[in-house]
Amino acid sequence: MREREFEIWLARSYRTRDGDPMDPGTVGSRFSGATRLEKALGDLDAHWARDRGRSVVAKLRYSREDAGRGVAPRHAIQIRGDPYTGTATLRRSAVLYFEFCSAWPAGQVAPAVGETPLVPAGNAPTRRRGSGRAAWPTWPEPNDDDLLALARAVARHARFLHPDVVAAIVEDNERHREDWTKQLAARGVDAAGYLWPRGPCAFPGVRRYAGSREIAEFHGHREATGNLAGALALDDNTYPKHVWSWILRGRPFQQFGPAGYALAHLADHKELGNRADAEFGRGAADADAPLFGLFTCPTNTAYLPVSLLRPTDHARHLRNLLMRRAEAIYAPAAELLPAPLAVGPASGPAWELGQFHWAEPVGGREFLDVFLRYREEAMARILTGDAASRNPRRRRRSSADEPGS
């Protein structure tokens, strides 16, 4: 499988039926699906050479009627969740990879990063369908030197929490593991996604909301259904910010943060568009398992300057650099990812940690005890289904909301 060329084609050259580029989350999902297929079915380029990929696509034909009748899929790839949806997603990745093979024959050199992409013939409409408006122009993207310069600026300003904070959360998790695991399981939540061995998840059972229905429920625009897939409470980023606010200020998060900085998540924690398969070497057997616990892991967050416009969202090498920095800080005390996931190596000598000047970790033990008391009370609400836990912004103040209580 020509991974680099395929990823470039998806991100820069492929166009939807409306003439728009594929969004980054979908690029990650389609790329991960293709790598899963290759692990399970063998070299996709060999399948293309053999029969233009027809046998692979045939294995992935599976209808809702098949699923309704209890017919098993034709493939043997393990899918956690709805087999129809999982198979359809894999089939789309297969179709796209074979479209790429047709557009860029083997041996054709892919454009270097920053160059104008080679747009496959017949797949680059000059006008948006039905709109009569011209397509957007193609502009050069940052090259490797540009990204390295950006990474150096980010490294100097990226703020990570002190490792003592993470060590205390891991220790507290181990103390509560058995009890919290039982309580999560009693309410239908798999604790493995939150409480892996030596994991630093600060609020097990809390995940980011996803989709218009959950967003509406979270903000009170729609009545809550009481059925949250894989979680007991939803959040918009308040719970992760509580950790930082308590440790740095001795108070809960109050809708403002450090001037000029914004909280950034390093590894994907949502189910859709998750890049774990490509970035952490996750095998096909567990490639569909959500990573909800990473949402409130302090090891998975950093404060970055807002002037840098969220570089971790789309700059893969920079995101990997920051995750390796977090691993270097916290690895003695915590496992940043559940096994068998692992942060990938540097993409080259220029991206080794020692090539960058790093800001020192912030915070410490001054407010650690009051944070742990707050967390204990918050987890009691979350695990017992207190409605206030579903939106931490709205809950009434508790006795743990002030330092020294």
**Could you read off the pLDDT of 257-304 as tens digits, one per residue?**
999 899 999 887 765 555 665 666 544 334 456 689 999 999 999 999
- What tokens were used for 279? 């970035």
Q: Which helix (H) or strand (E) covers residue 235, if one does?
A: strand 233-235
Structure confidence at residue 402 as a pLDDT band (50, 70, 90): very low
Question: What's the whole-number mean pLDDT along residues 351-367?
Answer: 94
- What tokens were used for 192? 């493995």
Provide the sign of the torsion angle of the four alpha carbons 267, 271, 272, 273, taken in this order.
positive
Domain boundaries, the chain: 3-127, 149-401
Q: How far is CA 91 from CA 34, 36, 59, 153, 284, in A?
A: 9, 11, 9, 41, 15
Q: 67 or 393, which is more confident?
A: 67
pLDDT of residue 128: 40
Q: Is the whole-model pTM more than 0.85?
A: no
Q: 326 or 395, which is more confident?
A: 326
Closest CA to 378 of 357, 395, 364: 395
Structure confidence at residue 217 as a pLDDT band (50, 70, 90): confident
Q: Position 363: which residue type?
A: G
**pLDDT(389) > 70:** no
Bridge partners (DSSP) listed for residue 264: 302
Q: 237 or 109, which is more confident?
A: 237
**pLDDT(85) > 90:** no
Q: How far is CA 138 from CA 10, 13, 47, 302, 350, in A?
A: 15, 10, 32, 32, 28
pLDDT of residue 168: 97
Cβ–Cβ < 8 Å for 280, 337: yes
- Reported as a single tens digit per residue, the pLDDT across 171-192 is 999 999 999 999 999 999 989 9
